[in-house]
Structure 1
C-alpha cells in the first residue's frame, strides 16, 4: 500500500443538485464494473484509486452531508439503495464505502455547528468509526492529546477523518468515562494490517494509529455512540431543517448491516442466474438448469428470501425516517431496538438464501477460491463476526428490548 493513494484523490467537485434516483443510477453503473475486479480489490485490501475517483465524481461521498456544508442531504433511504447497489457488485467495496460515508449522518446529528463547519469543509466526507474504546487521552488546555491504535476501521484507506472512542478520567470522577472524538487525516496513520481474514478482504478495514494527536474540545463528545440518547434533541436537529439529523444513531448503525447483506445476497443470486443459464444438470435427464424443477425451486426460494429481506430493511429505514420526523421524544430505546432487530432478521434471511439454497447447489467448480458465489459466502460469513451482529443483536439486544418494554416506566 502506498501512502500517496491512501489519501483522497484530487478530482473535480461534483455538480450541484444531484437527485436521489440519479445517485442510485450512478451507483449501479459503478457497481457493474466492480464484479470482474473483486479479486484485485481483495489483493489490494481496498478498492482501486480509479473507483474512489468514480465515487467522488458521482457525488456519492456527499449523500449524507448537510446541504449547508456542500452536501446533497439525500437521506437515509437513498444512501441505503446506493450501498446495496455497490455491495451487489462487490461486497468489499460496498462495505468499505458504507462505513466510510455513513458517519456524515453521525457528525451532522451529534456535533455542534462549529465542529460541523470544520469537519465538512473538505467537501467529500469519509470517516470510518469504531465504537469499542481503545487507546488513551490526556487532558490539555482546550482539548485532549490522544494516543493508541483502533482496529477494524472500515473505509480508512481514503478517509478524510476518523471517529473513535477512548476512556478518560475527568476531574473529580474516580471512574473513567467514554470520550468520543474526531481526528482529521493528518493526525493519524494507516496500519498495514488487513487482508488475511476469511472474507471482506478488500473492505479497507485497516487499523488507525494516533501518536500525540491533539483533538480540541469541540471535536469531542462525552459517551459512546451506541448509547446516545436522542430523546432530548440533538445539535443537528436544531441546526438543520432535516429531522434525520435528529434520528437514532444506534438503530441506523445496525440497519446498515442488513442493507449490505441484501446487496451481497443479490450478487450471489446474480451469479446463480448466470450458472443456471450456462450449465446443465449433473444427473439424468441432462437438461439446462433453467428447465430443471429442482434448480427452479432453489432459485425461486432464494429470490423470495432476498426480496423479503430487501423489503424489510428498506421499510425499516422508512420507519427510522418517519420516527425522526415525529420528534425527539418518539425515538425511545425500545423503538430503536425494534428497528435494529429488523436489520438482524434481514441478515438472517439473506444468509439462509445464500447458505442453504445457492451455495450448496451452485456446483463445486463454482465455489472454488475466487468464484463469485464462493466470495459472497466468505464475505457473508465474515459479516457474522461483526460485534454488532454476532454479539449485540444476537443476544444482548433481545434482552435490552424486553427490559425497555416492560420496565421503561421504572427508569
Structure 2
C-alpha cells in the first residue's frame, strides 16, 4: 500500500445549501494559474498533489453529481463537464484524473440500487475509476456476496479514490467461466460478467504509472484485488455494453434530477470530449503567448501577432477549437434534454448519436493542434517541458484511449447506422 492508500479521507459533511453551479465553475477558474504552474511536478509525482486534492474537496468538486439525499449537490452533468474542461485547459493530467475519478457518481447514482448507493455515498465525496473492460474474476461467497481477484489497469483517479467500479467474469467454485444455460443444460454464449463496486479497503494501487508518452500525471495506476469481498448489492450481473436505460433505472426512481436516467455510453463520451476540447484550449493559450513573445523568422522580424500568416493560422485554429467547444456543449445539453424526457426516450440510437457527435468535436479540436498550432509554433516552442509540447503529448496519449481510438470509430458507427436505417426503412 502507498502513503496515499492510507490517507484519511474525512467524514461526510452537508452540501453548501446556497452554492450554485456558477460558483463551482468560478472556483475551478480561480485554480487555473496554480495548476498551470504545477504541471511538471504533477507529471513527476504521477498524480496531482495532496493539497490540490484538498482544494478540490473544499470546493465541492467531488460531489457535483452525488445525489442530494446523500449530501451531494445533485447539479447537472453539464456543470461537472464545464469544471472538467476548465481544469483540463490548465493541466491535462489533472483534468483527466479528476474527471475519470469524480464523474462516476452519476453512473452509480443511476445504475445501482438504493442500498448500495446509501453505503458508497456515505462519505459525501465520491471518487471511483471505472474500468468497463472485464478483468479478473468474481465468485460467490458463502454469504451470497462476491469474492474478487485480478488486476484492473488504467484506473484514472486511483490515488485518491474511495472506490473502484470494475467489470469481471463470473466463475464457479472451480474457477470456470460459463454463459447462460441452454436447453440441454450446457452453458452457451459468452461468460457472464459482473459490474461491481469495491471499496478502498478491498484493493491496493500499484506503482506503475508515469512512464507513458503523455498524461504522466493522470493517476492512471493499476488496481489489484486479492480475495476482495463485497456484498451482493455491490454487484450487478450484466455485460457493460448491454446496459440500457430505455426501461428506466434505479436512480430515475430514487432521485429528483432526471439525469440519473441518462444513458451511460454517451455520458462517458462527453467526458472524453470535454477533456479533449479543454486540452486544445490549453494549447491555444500557449500559442497565444507565442504570438506576443516570439517574432517571425523573416525581416522585419516583427511579433507574430502582426504577421499575416500567423494571424491566419491563429484565426483558423481558434475557429476550429471554438466550433468543437460549441459542439460538445450542445451535445451535453442534448444529453440533459433526453434524460429529462419520459422513460424510453433515451434510446440506443440517441445514445450513439451523441457519442459520435462528440467524437467529431474532439477530432476537430485535435486537428487544430496537430495540423496548425504545433507545426507552426516552431521547434523551440515544443521542446521538452514547454506547455505546448506537454499538451501535444497529452493529446496524443489521450487519443490512444480504446474508446476514442477504436470503439467510437468502428463499432459505434456500425451500430448507429444499423439502428438509424432500421428506424427509417421504407
Query: Under TM normalisation by the shorter chain, which class is it?
Result: over 0.9
Residue 298 (1) aligns with residue 313 (2): yes
SS at structure 1 position matched to 2:344:
helix
Deviations 1:95-150 (A, max 9, x none): 00000000000000001111110010011100111001000111123211000000
What is the alpha-carbon distance in structure 1 between the residues aligned to residue 361 and residue 256 of structure 2?
A: 31
Count the aligned residue pairs: 410
Listed as ranges, the gaps of 5+ residues in structure 2 are 173-177, 182-186
TM-score w.r.t. structure 2 length? 0.93
Q: 1:409 to 1:208 in 2, by over 3 A?
A: farther
What is the alpha-carbon distance in structure 2 between the residues aligned to residue 408 and residue 391 of structure 1?
A: 25
Listed as ranges, the gaps of 5+ residues in structure 1 are none
What is the alpha-carbon distance in structure 1 between the residues aligned to residue 165 and residue 157 of structure 2?
A: 11
Structure 1 or 2: more helix by fraction: 1
Q: Is the 8 A contact 1:11 1:56 kept in 2?
A: no
What is the alpha-carbon distance in structure 2 between the residues aligned to residue 342 and residue 226 of structure 1?
A: 19
Q: Which residue of 2 aligns with 1:330?
A: 345
Segment drifting more, 1-10 vs 246-255: 1-10
What is the alpha-carbon distance in structure 1 between the residues aligned to residue 103 and residue 138 of structure 2?
A: 25
Q: Which residue of 1 aligns with 2:154?
A: 152
Q: 1:11 to 1:268 in 2, by over 3 A?
A: farther
What is the alpha-carbon distance in structure 2 between the residues aligned to residue 84 and residue 229 of structure 1?
A: 27
Q: Is the 8 A contact 1:95 1:154 kept in 2?
A: yes
Segment drifting more, 16-25 vs 121-130: 16-25
Deviations 1:376-411 (A, max 9, x none): 11111011110101010111111010111123699x
Q: Which residue of 2 aligns with 1:203?
A: 218
Segment drifting more, 393-402 vs 163-172: 163-172
What is the alpha-carbon distance in structure 1 between the residues aligned to residue 30 and residue 334 of structure 2?
A: 28
What is the alpha-carbon distance in structure 2 between the residues aligned to residue 226 and residue 7 of structure 1?
A: 34
Residue 262 (1) aligns with residue 277 (2): yes
Residue 3 (1) aligns with residue 3 (2): yes
Q: Please state how far the C-alpha of 1:225 moved relative to its aligned partner.
A: 3.3
Q: Is the 8 A contact 1:8 1:160 kept in 2?
A: no
Deviations 1:182-227 (A, max 9, x none): 0100100000111111110100000000111111111111213343
Q: CA RMSD in A?
A: 1.7
Residue 404 (1) aligns with residue 419 (2): yes
What is the alpha-carbon distance in structure 1 between the residues aligned to residue 409 and residue 76 of structure 2?
A: 28
SS at structure 1 position matched to 2:301:
coil
Q: Which residue of 2 aligns with 1:16?
A: 17
SS at structure 2 position matched to 1:328:
coil
Q: Which residue of 2 aligns with 1:83?
A: 84
What is the alpha-carbon distance in structure 2 between the residues aligned to residue 97 and residue 349 of structure 1?
A: 24
Q: Is the 8 A contact 2:5 2:204 kept in 1?
A: no
Q: 1:296 to 1:29 in 2, by over 3 A?
A: same
Q: Is the 8 A contact 2:252 2:260 kept in 1?
A: yes
